[in-house]
């Protein structure tokens, strides 16, 4: 990455960027020349993260609120003179499933769908006219999950991420004639603050479930975002890229059983 300036002159908006994957993505794109708007529902945390990134700005944005989304996009366009890249990273907190599926209440679904799926829809809708005016470098990258592709529990979260993958494909077709690429990344387990205090669990999970021997880092995902958002991926749209350490490609447990 040293010396690479793929995003020189770009304006970028990242949602859910106060911490974790969003913050790492903001840092990575800024390091490659972008001016980044760090948005999050936690305004104080967003401002703290932005203060550590040269040229970055921060703004509170609730992706469940259309007016808040419109304001964030307008702020980015005014601050940066345009918008070239949108990273849809915001998602609702994951609520554990009940033991029986039929005991899951509606609000555990509607809350997840409204933020994780519809939040990306709102942001993409607001950003698209500006991305289309970006001279062929407009790009949307959404952060999904391996939960969209296999059963790892969390029904509502998984369904929302699967819906996001479908939205990515359909929006790609709609946006392509306007010079905007739309892609998604499906991470496996990533060591974020949600795992604080469970480092031993992460190490065990990495060594037992992941062929590459570890779980991911926010920087692993940020690197993939940087690729898909850049002109290096100029002929890639409508794709869902797994960044999962081989989790879905290799069934470790099956192999262990067969070799016993």
Select from 69, 84, 88 the least CA-distant residue to 15. 88
Q: CA 138, 140, 146 angle in degrees (round to 5)?
A: 155
Which pair of tokens denotes residue 208? 């037992």
Catalytic residue among 10, 78, 161, 210: 161
Catalytic residue among 10, 75, 78, 157: 157
Select from 214, 215, 220, 193 the least CA-distant residue to 49. 193
Distance CA 163, CA 146 (A): 13
For residue 2, count CB atoms less than 10 angstroms from its CB and return exposed for 0-12, middle for 13-18, buried for 19 or more. Answer: exposed
Q: What is the DSSP string of 52-117?
A: TSTT-EEEE--TT-HHHHHHHHHHHHHHHSS--EEEE---PPPPPPPSSGGG--HHHHHHHIIIII
Active site residue 161: yes
Distance CA 52, CA 170 (A): 36
Active site residue 157: yes
* Residues marked as catalytic: 157, 161
């Amino acid at each position: 990455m040293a010396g690479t300036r793929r995003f020189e002159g770009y304006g970028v908006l990242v949602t859910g960027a106060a911490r974790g994957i969003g913050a790492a993505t903001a840092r990575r794109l800024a390091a490659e020349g972008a001016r980044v708007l760090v948005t999050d529902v936690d305004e104080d945390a967003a401002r703290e993260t932005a203060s550590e990134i040269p040229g970055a700005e921060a703004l509170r944005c609730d992706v469940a609120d259309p007016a808040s989304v419109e304001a964030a996009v307008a702020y980015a366009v005014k601050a940066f003179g345009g918008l070239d890249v949108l990273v849809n990273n915001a998602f609702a907190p994951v609520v554990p499933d009940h033991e029986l599926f039929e005991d899951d209440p509606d609000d555990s679904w509607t809350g997840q769908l409204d933020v994780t799926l519809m939040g990306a829809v709102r942001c993409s809708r607001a950003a698209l006219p500006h991305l289309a005016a970006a001279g062929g470098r407009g790009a949307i990258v959404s952060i999904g999950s391996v939960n969209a592709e296999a059963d790892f529990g969390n029904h509502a979260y998984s369904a929302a991420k699967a819906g996001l993958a479908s939205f990515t494909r359909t929006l790609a077709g709609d946006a392509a004639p306007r010079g905007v690429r739309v892609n998604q990344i499906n991470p496996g387990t990533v060591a974020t603050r949600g795992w604080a205090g469970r480092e031993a669990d992460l190490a065990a999970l990495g060594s037992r479930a992941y062929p590459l021997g570890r779980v991911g880092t926010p920087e692993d995902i940020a690197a993939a975002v940087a690729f898909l958002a850049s002109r290096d991926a100029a002929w890639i749209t409508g794709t869902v890229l797994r960044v999962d350490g081989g989790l879905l490609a290799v069934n470790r447990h099956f192999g262990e059983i067969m070799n016993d």
